Amino acid sequence: MAIILHKSEERSLRQKAYITPELTPGEFNYICRRAYKYCGLDIRPGKEGLVRNRLAKLMRQLGIDSFREYCSYLEKDADGKALSSMVDCLTTNHTGFFREEQHFRFLTSAILPVIEDRQQIDIWSAACSTGEEPYSLAFALLEYFHERVKKVPCIRILATDISNRALTTAQKAVYSLHKFSNMPQAIVHKYMLRGSGASQGLLCVKPAVRELVQFRRLNLMESFEEVGEFPLILCRNAMIYFNEETQEKLIANFHQRLEAGGYFFVGHSESLNRITQPMKYVCPAIYRRSGELSSRTHRGHN
């Protein structure tokens, strides 16, 4: 007697029997070239196992059985969605609220006192991942002005990332309760909504805070002259994915987007010491454009 399987059952059986295909040197080099050309992602020899294992999960979802077939799939990618999905798999979106807290202390102790009287404050989170960084910036700014019983200026935080998947999570602004374990509960109660029922264990950023953040997809390898100028730009834990040549070009572009005296934050595991770049070193993971920040409102992002 013949057994008839529905397509969903066939797919399920196929996924269970899926064996991670071999990755040849030629296929590895092709994937590396496409990633570098697309977004500057620098994958070095020795990462073959990482590429093979991470992309195998995506290939299994796509029903692709070999890296030869996957490379052909990338070759036919007309709208960039395949490349975007590939980069999502090859990079890590690990982040957290108030991650690398020293940066937030520097923001409230050294930067905001200079620009607190502006009518509008603009900040750019240039590799915002799933949104924890820009929302943390919003919390920090609101707390700063509330503590000083000062009128809150217009706050505009531009948050960009290359990953559509990460940006979708960021725009939803819904996070697991464990994400806030190291955050003061007073801030959690003030700025988050607690889920109930099917949403038990989840917290959502309040609409009034979400309105302060504008999310936008941006490939940092493309021009970003139109974003305006900022007293502070953060590009944290993204430089590790680029080679020194790409880092130099990127830092030069960020330098042009900083106001005179503006600050630039990188991740604490990152350093600009090995590249030629125009910014002045302030302290670990903090750099600055020459000049002095103005206390007056500057032309912000568009």
If you average pLDDT over residues 188-217, what whole number do you get? 95
User: What CATH class has 7-90?
Assistant: mainly alpha
**What's the CA gap between 207 and 108, in Å, rounded?**
23
**What's the CA gap between 255 and 66, in Å, rounded?**
43
Residue 72, classed as helix, strand or coil, is helix
Backbone phi, then psi, for 23, in 5-degree steps? -115, 115
If you average pLDDT over residues 88-109, what whole number do you get? 93
Sequence ranges of the chain with CATH classification 1.10.155.10: 7-90
Cβ atoms 204, 192 nearer than 8 A: yes
Whether the per-residue pLDDT at 102 is higher than 50: the answer is yes
**What's the CA gap between 169 and 166, in Å, rounded?**
5
* Cβ-based burial of 223 (10 A; exposed 0-12, middle 13-18, buried ≥19): exposed
**pTM of the entire predicted model:** 0.90
**What's the CA gap between 236 and 168, in Å, rounded?**
20
Q: What is the pLDDT of residue 196?
A: 87
Sequence ranges of the chain with CATH classification 3.40.50.150: 101-288
CATH topology assigned to domain 101-288: Rossmann fold (3.40.50)
**What's the CA gap between 57 and 285, in Å, rounded?**
34
Cβ atoms 129, 123 nearer than 8 A: no
Q: Which amino acid is at 12?
A: S
Residue 66 binned pLDDT confidence (cut-offs 50, 70, 90): very high
Whether the per-residue pLDDT at 85 is higher than 60: the answer is yes
Q: Which amino acid is at 278?
A: P
Q: Tell me how far CA of residue 35 lies from CA of 72, 89, 193, in angstroms.
A: 15, 11, 39
Identify each DSSP E strand in the chain by its residue range: 120-125, 154-161, 174-176, 192-194, 202-205, 213-217, 230-234, 258-265, 280-283, 286-288
N-to-C CA span, the chain:
67
**Residues 25-54: pLDDT tens digits?**
999 999 999 999 999 999 999 999 999 999
> What is the percent of the chain with per-residue pLDDT over 70, rounded to a whole number?
92
Cβ atoms 118, 156 nearer than 8 A: no
Q: What is the pLDDT of residue 23?
A: 96
**What's the CA gap between 54 and 247, in Å, rounded?**
25
Q: Which residue has the tokens 């690990």?
A: 94
